[in-house]
């Protein structure tokens, strides 16, 4: 891990009070960088890992605390460069009672096989996994864009040893 990747995260945008990135009002952090490059992605400007601006993890934490809402990591893909998000998630879990949702194009099972990504998974409450597939697009789904994506209850999935979804649409 580089010093930069531990101490700051490249952020494209921060949305306060959004209700589309998880249950309830949330502060959503939009990360720069995604290698999935899904056809039909609603945020292709997020693919560039050098996009946005580098913001110190401590500053992001302060903004989250000030906003007083639960948190969503999205992007881009926070799992693409998880180091800074791990540090931020540790601070959130240690010092607040906020829930963390994370959107990723990787599958839950694959995340568990990668040590850093697994560490971030274990700090999250919900993972919305899977690449966006344009032919599977379904606007009636809650909190995801295509039918192949899952809203994974992390704690139950880790306990049971298989994916447990939060709800079925």
- pLDDT digit string, tens, across residues 73-130: 998 999 999 999 999 999 999 999 999 999 999 999 999 999 999 999 999 999 999 9
What is the CATH superfamily name and number for domain 3-160? Aldolase class I (3.20.20.70)
CB–CB of 60/49 below 8 Å?
no
| Per-residue exposure over 26-43, b if at least 16 CB sit within 10 Å of its own CB, e if not | bbbbbbbbbebebeebee
Answer whether 107's CB lies under 8 Å from 113's CB.
Answer: no
CB 67 within 8 A of CB 38: no
Q: pLDDT tens digits, residue range 121-159? A: 999 999 999 999 899 999 899 999 999 999 999 999 999
Nearest residue to 6 (alpha-carbon basis) of 78, 79, 57: 57
């Amino acid at each position: 891990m580089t010093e930069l990747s531990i101490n700051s995260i490249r952020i494209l945008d921060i949305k306060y009070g959004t209700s589309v990135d998880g249950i309830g009002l949330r502060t959503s952090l939009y990360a720069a960088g995604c290698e999935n490059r899904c056809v039909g992605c609603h945020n292709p400007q997020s693919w560039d890992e050098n996009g946005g601006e580098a913001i110190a993890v401590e500053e992001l934490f302060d903004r989250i605390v000030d906003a007083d809402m639960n948190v969503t990591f999205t992007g881009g893909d926070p799992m693409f460069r998880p180091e800074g998000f791990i540090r931020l998630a540790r601070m959130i879990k240690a010092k607040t009672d906020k829930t963390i949702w994370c959107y990723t194009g990787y599958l839950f099972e694959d995340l568990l096989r990668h040590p850093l990504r697994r560490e971030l998974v274990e700090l999250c409450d919900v993972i919305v996994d899977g690449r966006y597939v344009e032919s599977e697009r379904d606007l009636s789904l809650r909190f995801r864009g295509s039918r192949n994506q899952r809203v994974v209850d992390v704690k139950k999935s880790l306990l049971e040893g298989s994916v447990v979804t939060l709800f079925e649409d």
